[in-house]
Amino acid sequence: MNPRRTFLILIPYLWLLALFLVPFGIVFKISLSDTALAIPPYLPTLDLSTGWAGFREFLSELDFENYVWLTEDDLYWKAYLSSLQIAVFSTVLTLLVGFPIAYGMANAPDQWRPTLMMLVILPFWTSFLIRVYAWMGILSTEGFLNQFLLWTGIIAEPLTILNTNTAVYIGIVYTYLPFMILPIYATLEKLDASLLEAAEDLGCSRTSAFWLVTIPLSRPGVIAGCFLVFIPALGEFVIPSLLGGSGTLMIGKVLWEEFFSNRDWPVASAVAVVLLLLLIVPIILFQKHQEKQQEAEQ
């Protein structure tokens, strides 16, 4: 095999080893440890300095007490279910908002498309944290949104939006909207307009042609966008903490509290491992979908 080709192939695997497998192994090792008043706050069950004898002792005393604790305490499985619900609903909302925008961009004149693309990417030029803090000012009781609605006479008293799940949905949709728009736009831009003309020549109305031709052919972009929104939204921490308040239960907040408030690193590591395993499922599905799409294009 060509050494240059071998080197190029090894780069992503080395990257995966250094930034995923090794950290995952460390977190999994901590999840099997016991909590202690120490620095760091746990007693390791595996001491690599003892060699093979220490590893054999580790296997003989191996227990999954922290993982069992996750099933016994209602807080954790409720947090997983709540995170799943919020992530799914947010993904659907993002799709409903993002698809018309991507469709409009794909059908815009060629000279306008770069400008529209820049407007979609423009929020990334600002810090994510600053944008979330800006939404706190907009959605608060004395914020811009309530002031505008009161000024127009639509409402008689300020709405309570901040520190609710509604604010979390708004924050997630706003934050991850570009991740939905861009793959859908990339798919719609390559759509052959002659297919729509052929459908209309065969008697389809514009609406029927949209549902029978455009929607099915845009499915790869829709699936990619949904995965790109759902995966990070499931473990989101900043948005529910700042916009959702104490009433919003998501596994990202629980994970942070276990690490930094309770100082229970073994349980927090177990929570992180389970969350990672849950995220692997959609990642594998997305990868298989990408492989099928590449095979179809070839």
pLDDT in tens, 14-28: 887 788 788 888 888
More confident residue, 287 or 234: 234
- Report phi then psi at 39, rounded to 5: -130, 110
Band of pLDDT at residue 160, cut at 50, 70 and 90: confident
* pTM score: 0.83
Residue 177 pLDDT > 90: yes
Contacts with 129 (C-beta within 8 Å, 6 or more apart), sequence order: 238
Where does 128-204 have alpha helices with state H? Answer: 128-139, 144-152, 165-189, 193-201
Most confidently predicted of 53-67, 226-240, 249-263: 226-240
User: Residue 53's pLDDT is what?
Assistant: 57
Place 179 in a pLDDT band, splitting at 50, 70 and 90: very high
Q: For residue 92, what pLDDT is reported?
A: 96
Does the 69-297 domain belong in CATH 1.20.1260.10?
no
Mean pLDDT, residues 8-18:
79
Q: Looking at the predicted structure, is the pLDDT value of residue 180 above 90?
A: yes
CB atoms closer than 10 angstroms to residue 168: 25
> 23-32, 130-139, 194-203: lowest mean pLDDT where?
194-203
The per-residue pLDDT for 99 is 95
> CA 268, 281, 178 angle in degrees (round to 5)?
90
Q: What is the pLDDT of residues 101-128, one digit of tens each?
A: 999 999 888 889 889 999 999 888 888 8
Q: What is the percent of the chain where pLDDT is above 90?
A: 21
Single out the residue of 103, 100, 105, 139 nearest to residue 121, CA to CA. 105
Mean pLDDT of the chain, nearest integer: 84
How far, in Å, CA of 139 to CA of 169, rounded? 12
CA dist., res. 51 & res. 125, Å (int): 49
